[in-house]
Amino acid sequence: MKFKVFLLFLGSPAWVFSQSLLQMEVSTQNNDVEVIQNNTVSFSSSDLELAGKDGANLQETFLRFDGVSLPADAVINNVYLVFYGDEPSTSSATMKITGEIGSSLPYPTSTAASTGLNLKSRNYSTGFAEWITSGCVVDQQYQSPDLKNVFSEMFTNAGLNNASLAFRIQGNGQGAFTVKSYSAATGKKPKLVINYSTQTTTITKLISSGNNDAEQVLTTGNIDLGSGIMELGGKYGATPQISALRFENVQIPANAEITKAYIEFYSYGTNPNNAELVFRTELGNAPVYTTASNNISGRNYSQHKAKWVTAPWTSGNTMYRSVDLKEIIDENRLNGWQSGQTLAFKVEGNDGNATAWSVNGSPNYQPKLVIEYKNNGNGPSVGPAPQDETVRKYVSAWENDGIQNLSTGGIDLGRGILELGGKSGATAQTTGIRFENIQIPDNAYVTDAYIEFYAYGNSTNALVKISSEMANAAVYNTTSANITKRNYSTIFADWNTGNWTSNSKYRTSNLRNIVDQARINGWQSGNSLAFKLESESGGANVYSRNGSELYQPRLVIEYLNNNTGPAIDIESNPANMNKLYINEVSSEGTQSQEEDWIEIYNDHDYPVYFNKQNSGIYLSDKNGNRTLSELKDIYIPAKGFTTFIADSDPSKGSNHLNFGLSSDGETIYFSRKVNGNVIQQDILTYQNIPYNQTAGKFPNGTGSLVNFIKPTYNASNNDGKQRVDLGFSKTRGVYDSGFDLAISVPAGTTVKYTLNGKTPSATVGTVYTAPIAISKTSAIKVYAYDAAGNNSGVVAHTYVLRNNYANETTADGYWQWYYKSNITAAEYAQAIGEVPIVSVTTNAEPNTIWAEASVEYIDNNVYSGRKNFFSNSLTKKFGQESLGFYNPNLKLKFNSDSGVKKANYAFFDDYPNDAFENPGKIQTLELKQGQDNASRNVYNIGFMRFSEKISMNLQKEMGKYALNTRYINLFVNGKYRGLKTLRNDFNPNNLEEIFGDDDNNYTKVNLQDGYFNGGIVEAGDGSQAVWNNIRNIAFAKKFQDLKKLVDVDDLIKFQLAFMFTDTENEAVAIMHNTNPDVMKAKFMINDTDGSFFGGITYSSSDVSMPARGFAGGGGNYKFKWIYSPWSINGPGESSETSWDQIPMLQPEIWSLKL
């Protein structure tokens, strides 16, 4: 009974509290115990002498109550025990009642003294209730004193969940008070009563009729509505089944929050083994069960499930409570279920033991649904749906398994056994098995899939090849070759059956890959799945659907409903991967893959899969850390390849490693973990590998290490072309005098070379037969090849001789060496090696069109120990007026257009305190000489060649980004072209090495000459829209918006340097397209034409320098301030939109003007 009391607290909402009574009788014979003075015990007494004496024997009584639950918010009002008189008495008795602390463990079942000692030695409350009775009347109810204080010591928190409460009653041995024991009828047994207050409402529901609990045979779909017991464990004898329960008119307010829900079952007999039970709710208002086929499994159930692993049920007629069912009920409520409708549950077992009474078997012990809720407005809620699911399907129909005679194509659909070994006697055959209506969500990840067979007779091992049909498999028919003519997976699963014992169950190897290949190729959930089983081994006979309903084949698919989707996965155990090898390595990238990469070859006859988690497969370039990069979620087909990108960025995907490769060469370690130990699987040591070349095994996997001039990315090395390694008796560099150059190659190799810059090939160049005399500065280009197509590629070696002064001549025209008499041979010998050397060799004199070239950067004459640099590239002239000079500006480009990658070499020294990093990789380099070209000799001012370096360094001193520069001696096709300034340029492809991100996300704006006031983004240099947006913001004078996109400090420094330097109106702007946090727009002086122009003939201090304008706009600094508003306004701005018109910039700009 319940009493509702309304309590209103000032300033707080009104809450409804309910007073509830929990009443529970002793549930088993072993839960009321009398312990005699000698500690032996009695479980079966028909009464309990609570006064402490039975005849002449002193004794104590122990009571235990199982399965006590109280809401977490319960407030205990009082606790007491209820007994019913069994023997009349008029004498008084005094008893002391204490409680066992915490949830009580089951009482031992032995009657020996050890049980009495066990019970007495338990931890009981120090507080107690004294109960003095005045006599006893048969069948009269007696209530103990309030045990609330004892209870509070037993449990510090009132909320209990399936706890066991035990009490110890010690009489003083005087008088008599004898009450009924567990042996009494229901209603007269000893009872625990707890009166408590709670906001929680508890409802209970029983099965109302026989068609509200049911069982379904899985092999046939038959429904049993009349069974007196329910085999919840999933099997009736050997017959697989599922169970279902239905509770009518369940009242749960729509906005109520369920705090606990469970079903109470009573055991039918003992169940010595445990069971794993899975509960789901039927979605919606569940109709009554009928005998229609599959009437349980064919209904729609919750995605959420509740899993209950039972303990062994050791006694019959004992109540056992399921796990909490709140989430599966709430999913139903969220899907439209309404209060007052029916709640139904499906129970699936794992072939364990959990047999319970049904409503047909015992109304007293039937299942009971218990739901506790708070009507607090919170309503139903669920967490994420569980990911793990299992599909189990039997063949179920006679036409769903069959045999095909391979010689005739004949189909047999009536066979009682299936010869999986591929032979019926001497007749070769193939088996087909089909399973209908397989439900696998499209985005589910299958973790395991297999077919269970029962052996027909004993047999020895057979090797069976299993493939899946690649569509919604139709029912088999007797059309010729109806099994083999279907479309099957290209992947297959090998199954070594092992030796079999008749009527025993065996499962195939994992079929998840062939199932997933079908899913990838269009198979959909709800379709039928069919498999072809092939073998030539013989044996492996199993029951078909026609041979045994009980032993028919069953498909089991386990999956995770985790949105991963289908994926191929085969062998994943590192112990079974002893034929994996490092097959090929690129430490500079290739045209097919720009980043460094490592190729692994699978020499097994089966594919392998590196698990997504804890794969136990590793690559590393650190001997001290062989597990540096764990390889995960990777599939390699049998005799196949996969490639890993060594870019130190595993966030990009599972085939990206967390380390890079050294361009100088190193050792790579390939390891696997077996039985907890990391063992070396393979090791490969490589030396320096140029771009678009690799080091690899020939033949695949186990062969010798060779260098490939034609890489075989993710393909067989047998198809690659090997690099012919050239040996030079002298390395490129600076030498005092000439020598004979010997070239060594493997036997059977032809060597062609040129000395005029042209590219040698099989048809171009001189055949090398003897050492070549290097009697003057020379650039030799070499190509070696053999009959198999292996080759060296084109290699250039430049030899600069200090004694080459005599060979420098004016004979070729163009005024070169016009002033040769001004220097001596000794000065030449000293100067030629004082700075690094750039040697460019091309088929012809460079022009304005990109052309193939070889580039050498020689600096070991300046820096001891340097290796020098060589790469093929593209080159062209650039500039304006200087394009007509013999010594023009040259641009060098290192990218895939020339079959190479960015140049990775320290071309430039670090500038002291430079605010920006010296780039390690460069795509484009430029060779310049001050104002167009020093050789032009304008006004005899040869020092103009210094303007580029000093102007760039001036900007660096101001904390601005500027180009790196250095002086070099240039040679083109072996001829000296004088001193040049080498610099990187503002190409967007260079910016990513300095500011980060990807070069495609940068924009470069040309602000040269006629473009100075507006700017233009040329093709391939980024986004015109990005630049237009900045100009529009400036035009609108939105300074706060502008400074989000433009580095204003940088802009002011630029204007300062620009206005006080003698230059034309030539600038460049660079910016990130989308993220100013990477880089805001910056402005640089692009071309230093005019620097150090000064006063020309007015260089003396007493002559005032005139304002001089330059042909390209701008001029010396006087001219800019007095006569050039375009210069004052700054690059990219007209007079209407100039930077100094932005109010926030006026103080800075005008401070420059003043």
State the DSSP string of 1022-1090. Answer: --HHHHHHHHHHHHTT-HHHHHHHB-HHHHHHHHHHHHTS-B-SEEEEEEESS-TTT--BEEEE---TT
430 touches 536 (CB < 8 A): no
**What span, in angstroms and rounded, lies between the C-alpha atoms of 1091 and 1086?**
12
Best CA proximity match to 134, nearest among 191, 174, 81, 189: 174
Token duo for residue 996: 């980060």
Is residue 699 reached through a cis peptide bond, with omega within 30 degrees of 0 on the bond before it?
Answer: yes
CATH of domain 574-716: 2.60.40.1260
Best CA proximity match to 597, nearest among 758, 708, 756: 708
Q: 3-state secondary structure string, 909-949?
A: CCCCCCCCCCCCEECEEEEECCCCCHHHCHHHCHHHHHHHH
Check residue 490 and give its pLDDT: 65
Token duo for residue 1060: 């006080």
Check residue 67 and give its pLDDT: 86
Check residue 640 and give its pLDDT: 86
708 touches 691 (CB < 8 A): no
**What span, in angstroms and rounded, lies between the C-alpha atoms of 319 and 28?**
9
Q: What phi and psi values does residue 1008 have, to the nearest 5 degrees?
A: -100, 135
Indicate if the pLDDT at residue 409 is higher than 70: yes
Q: Find the range with the poorest average confidence among 162-176, 200-214, 745-759.
A: 200-214
DSSP symbol at 1126: H
Check residue 1135 and give its pLDDT: 45
Indicate if the pLDDT at residue 732 is higher than 60: yes
Indicate if the pLDDT at residue 94 is higher than 90: yes
Mean pLDDT of 16-38: 87
554 touches 508 (CB < 8 A): no
What one-letter code names the amino acid at 953? N
pLDDT tens, 113-122?
Answer: 999 999 999 9
**What span, in angstroms and rounded, lies between the C-alpha atoms of 86 and 47?**
7
731 touches 798 (CB < 8 A): no
Q: Find the range with the poorest average confidence among 231-240, 520-529, 1099-1108.
A: 1099-1108
Check residue 788 and give its pLDDT: 92
Indicate if the pLDDT at residue 1090 is higher than 70: no
Mean pLDDT of 437-460: 93
Burial of 157 (0-12, 13-18, 19+ CB in 10 A): exposed
Q: 3-state secondary structure string, 1075-1123?
A: CCCCCCEEEEECCCCCCCCCCCCCCCCCCCCCCCECCCCCECHHHHHHH
Average pLDDT, the chain: 88
Indicate if the pLDDT at residue 607 is higher than 50: yes
Check residue 627 and give its pLDDT: 96
CATH 2.60.40.1260 range(s) for the chain read 574-716
48 touches 88 (CB < 8 A): no
Q: What phi and psi values does residue 508 have, to the nearest 5 degrees?
A: -70, 175
Q: Where are the beta strands (DSSP E) in 125-256?
A: 129-133, 141-143, 160-171, 178-180, 191-198, 200-206, 213-217, 223-224, 229-231, 235-236, 239-247
What one-letter code names the amino acid at 587? S
Q: How confident is the model at residue 1104 (pLDDT cuts 50, 70, 90)?
A: low
CATH architecture of 20-198: Sandwich (2.60)
Check residue 815 and give its pLDDT: 64
pTM over 0.75: no
Q: How confident is the model at residue 364 (pLDDT cuts 50, 70, 90)?
A: confident
85 touches 136 (CB < 8 A): yes
Check residue 1007 and give its pLDDT: 87
* DSSP states along 86-126: -S-B-S-EEEEEEEBSSSPPPPPS--SHHHHHHHHTS-B-S
pLDDT tens, 903-924?
Answer: 889 999 999 999 888 888 898 9
Q: Can you count the helices (H) and strands (E) in the chain? A: 13, 73
Domain 203-385 matching CATH 2.60.120: the answer reads yes
Check residue 945 and give its pLDDT: 56
pLDDT tens, 293-345?
Answer: 999 998 999 989 999 988 888 888 988 999 999 999 999 999 999 999 999 99
Q: How confident is the model at residue 767 (pLDDT cuts 50, 70, 90)?
A: very high
Half-sphere exposure of 190 (CA within 13 A, CB side): 31
pLDDT tens, 841-880?
Answer: 999 999 999 999 999 999 999 999 888 999 999 999 988 7
Q: How confident is the model at residue 106 (pLDDT cuts 50, 70, 90)?
A: very high
pLDDT tens, 250-306?
Answer: 999 999 999 999 999 999 988 878 888 999 999 999 999 999 999 999 899 998 999
Check residue 1093 and give its pLDDT: 57
Half-sphere exposure of 265 (CA within 13 A, CB side): 27
1092 touches 1153 (CB < 8 A): no
Check residue 315 and give its pLDDT: 86
Check residue 663 and give its pLDDT: 83
Best CA proximity match to 274, nearest among 236, 312, 308: 312
174 touches 93 (CB < 8 A): yes
71 touches 200 (CB < 8 A): yes
Check residue 664 and give its pLDDT: 85
Check residue 353 and give its pLDDT: 84
Residue length of the chain: 1154
Mean pLDDT of 352-356: 89
Longest dimension (CA), the chain: 147
pLDDT tens, 1038-1054?
Answer: 889 999 999 999 999 98
CATH of domain 727-801: 2.60.40
Q: How confident is the model at residue 1094 (pLDDT cuts 50, 70, 90)?
A: low
pLDDT more than 70, % of the chain: 93
CATH 2.60.120 range(s) for the chain read 20-198, 203-385, 390-560
**What span, in angstroms and rounded, lies between the C-alpha atoms of 1050 and 995?**
15
Q: How confident is the model at residue 934 (pLDDT cuts 50, 70, 90)?
A: very low
Q: How confident is the model at residue 1143 (pLDDT cuts 50, 70, 90)?
A: very low
DSSP symbol at 323: P
Check residue 1101 and give its pLDDT: 44
Best CA proximity match to 250, nearest among 367, 343, 368: 343
Residue 1108 or residue 381, greater confidence: 381
Check residue 7 and give its pLDDT: 31
| Fold assignment, 390-560 | Jelly Rolls (2.60.120)
Mean pLDDT of 988-1017: 85
